Amino acid sequence: MPNYKVNIKWGRENYKEVECNTDEDPTHFKAQVYTLTGVHPSRQKLMTKGKTLGDQQESWSNFPLTSGGTILLMGSKEEDIVTAPEEATKFVEDMDDSELASALEMPMGLVNLGNTCYLNATVQCLKTVPPLTATLKKFVGSSTAPDASIAIPAALRDLYNTMDKKVAVPPLFLLQAVHTAFPRFAERGEGGVWAQQDANECWTELVRALQQKLPPDGETKSSSIIDQYFGVKLAVEWKNNEAPDEPVTTSAEDFLQLSCFIAPETRYMHAGLLSKLEETITKHSPSLNRDAEYTKKGRVDRLPAYLTIQMVRFFYKQQGVNAKILKDVKFPLTLDVFELCTKRLQEKLIPMRNKFKELEDAAAEGKLEKKDKSKGKDLKKDESKSANTVSHSFQDDIGSNNSGFYELQAVLTHKGRSSSSGHYVGWIKHKGDTWLMCDDDNVTPVHYEDVLKLSGGGDWHTAYVLIYGPKVLELPEGQTMDPVYCYTTTESESVSSPSTSAE
């Protein structure tokens, strides 16, 4: 593979050892230069040894490259260009998509580099988690580091910073880091373009990479920001179905997402979650000294602030064919997972749940002024608490959920019949009833009712991964919270204890 390390000189700036892969067309290199300098590809003029790389040039022919050579970049960033006087006022109905995005303060999209929609959708959904983005901003490291646990968070940090500048960008450095760390994502299909990949696999690998180096927020038992805000702990009981007298054993398991199993009778996500927590598994029985069937029953013993749920829609048929379950499975905008929890955790959740009910009852009786939903609090910003906003975490477990109530804030969807084909899109909550459909670099406002239609049943976009954020309790003016609601666990109640009951 012809790879060159070149130097780029742009005015007074010099960029050393920039990787140039001539197996890819020049547009990929220009996208990389854009990420470095902010000069849009359409305004780039690249010159070396008297030769110029043309605007529409699709190959490297007649453009001499050598390792260590210097390429001169001519061009200005958009903000450096002198603009014409302001135009007359334009009404919303007369705006195009980019103008509408700016007017509504919508986030920018991500350029598709060739079947990279799975990565773009994942990046957009993860960006809705404020503690994660805040921690990434403080991360120190280079996106070109050979260690994937450094390169991936650094590349994601730089990408989010660029997106915040309201520019549609190609996620080139992140894609390169992912390809280096996970070579299967660098596979090519027909025509030499990148092969489509499974978005949930990408999600899992990205989160695991972030888990290695991103530190936790404040004093906590968690080892990383990922464990702190995404970590689910399960208390599990194992019962031998073939030997009733064998003692029930217990264990603890850690996850970063829950799975919704879709059976023929599954109509609602809640039922699919419950069914996945109870399975029949074959394993060795010490009392029978042979393999036997066990009932594995799990219950959640630690809820994270941000709950990720995967809809298990893909399975392998005979001959290794990857197929999709198109069944319509409804998911809610507001999720209550109380039934999925251990009794120990349920007892901890009750005080905050009672406070929610108390305020809802007061509002129903007209004792509280009802809030206009269109002016409501953006739940994605709930980490910045006002004086009358109660923490969604237990006092000794920052990053947890102390009520069991969640609000949907992002959905990653798939359109097609196979996870390795079709198209992925991210849908994120914006303001009030407005959501945004992030289809690569095209970001479009939609109504929440459009999001609820993503439940499946046909060839339209179908929910594959969902992120639920904490439902935040906002007290009426002048009210304060009784300390009893900020439950603190004792050492003997540690959620990681193998003896935790799953009843």
CATH of the domain at 357: 3.90.70.10
- Mean local confidence (pLDDT), 396-417: 95
Beta-strand (E) ranges in 262-364? Answer: 278-285, 290-302, 307-312, 314-316, 322-324, 334-336
Q: Across-strand partners of 48? A: 51
Q: Is 423 a catalytic residue?
A: yes
* Amino acid at the residue 78: E
Last residue of a domain, one of 21, 47, 79: 79
Query: Which has the minimum average pLDDT: 10-19, 51-60, 354-363, 471-480?
Result: 51-60
At which residue do the structure tokens 């790389």 appear? 53
Predicted local distance difference test score (pLDDT) of residue 318: 57
* Domain-located, residue 35: yes
* Domain-located, residue 125: no
* Domain-located, residue 100: no
Sorting pLDDT into bands at 50, 70 and 90, what band is 323?
confident
> Please, is 84 exposed, middle or buried when counting C-beta atoms within 10 Å of its C-beta (0-12, 13-18, 19+)?
exposed
* Domain-located, residue 209: no
* Domain-located, residue 442: yes
In this predicted structure, the answer to whether residue 95 has a pLDDT above a threshold of 70 is no
- Mean local confidence (pLDDT), 488-494: 40
- Greatest mean pLDDT among 78-87, 309-318, 391-400: 391-400
pTM value surpassing 0.85 = no
Averaged confidence pLDDT in the chain? 84
Q: Which of 20, 40, 117, 430 is catalytic?
A: 117
Predicted local distance difference test score (pLDDT) of residue 125: 97
* Domain-located, residue 289: yes
* pLDDT above 90 as % of the chain: 52
Last residue of a domain, one of 61, 79, 97: 79
The number of folded domains in the chain is: 2
Predicted local distance difference test score (pLDDT) of residue 4: 84
- Greatest mean pLDDT among 87-96, 114-123, 483-492: 114-123
Residues 6+ apart with CB under 8 A from 147: none
Higher pLDDT, 26 or 356: 356
Last residue of a domain, one of 79, 108, 123: 79
Domain holding 71: CATH number?
3.10.20.90
- Mean local confidence (pLDDT), 228-248: 95
In this predicted structure, the answer to whether residue 293 has a pLDDT above a threshold of 80 is yes
Chain center to CA of 377: 21
In this predicted structure, the answer to whether residue 308 has a pLDDT above a threshold of 50 is yes
- Mean local confidence (pLDDT), 366-392: 55
Closest C-alpha to 489, from 393, 380, 395, 389: 395
Instruction: Determine how β-strand 307-312 pairs with β-strand 258-261.
Output: parallel
* Domain-located, residue 435: yes
Q: Is 461 a catalytic residue?
A: no
Find the domain containing 318 and state its range: 228-493
* Domain-located, residue 159: no
In this predicted structure, the answer to whether residue 351 has a pLDDT above a threshold of 80 is yes
Cα separation, 298 vs 253, in Å, equals 9
- For the chain, the residue count is 503
Evaluate whether 269 touches 220 at the Cβ level (below 8 Å). no
Cα separation, 251 vs 500, in Å, equals 8
What does the pLDDT look like over 122-180, one tens digit per residue?
999 999 999 999 999 999 999 888 898 999 999 999 999 999 887 777 898 999 999 99
* Amino acid at the residue 253: E
